[in-house]
Amino acid sequence: MDNYGIRYTDISGHIKSLKATNNYLASSISKNRDEISELRHFIDDCVLYKKLKIYSINEAKAPDKEMYYQEHDTQLNAFHDAEFALKNRNIDLSQINSSSIKILQKRLLQAEQEIRELEDQQRQNEREINELQNYQKEINTYLGRNHEDI
């Protein structure tokens, strides 16, 4: 009671509650990781689109389009892949600019911080579960009982 604020008879229920909380946290972490991965890909597509758009513009202006493409095929292919991915998400390409990318990057950092906090809470719960299980085992040994007798 002094160490954990609960009675000996409530330890099992508290352990089960902590395990249920950890299961919920694990589910939330998994879901958030998937969303972060999707957001990271989206940001990468936006950055590539913005950064490489000049190659597409210059290709249209080039007197020899074939020669220009041969010189810049990697950049042009990356641009068109990013453009295709963004169009598939129904993104208005005219809205992609530095400030919107910075907003997305800030949101990504916040989401990553939230995951770290959830993982910290999960680790803290695991430590508390282990401590309570050890505490319960010590009391059971001291009382000469096993868990089923209580």
| pLDDT tens per residue, range 109-133 | 999 999 999 999 999 999 999 988 8
pLDDT in tens, 36-83: 999 999 999 999 999 999 999 999 999 998 999 999 999 999 999 999
Structural domain total, the chain:
1
**Nearest of 55, 96, 101 to residue 79 by alpha carbon:** 55
Residue 54: what pLDDT? 94
Torsion over CA: 17, 21, 22, 26 (sign):
positive
pTM more than 0.85: no
Q: How far apart are CA 80 and CA 99, in angstroms?
A: 22
* 148 within domain boundaries: no
* 47 within domain boundaries: yes
CB neighbour class for 95 (10 Å; exposed up to 12, middle 13-18, buried from 19) = exposed
Mean confidence (pLDDT) of the chain: 88
Backbone angles phi, psi at 42, to 5 degrees: -60, -45
* 25 within domain boundaries: yes
Instruction: Find the mean pLDDT for residues 32-39.
Output: 93
**Nearest of 110, 97, 92 to residue 39 by alpha carbon:** 110
Domain range spanning residue 43? 8-142
Residue 136: count of CB within 10 angstroms of its CB: 17
Say whether pLDDT at 139 is over 90.
Answer: no
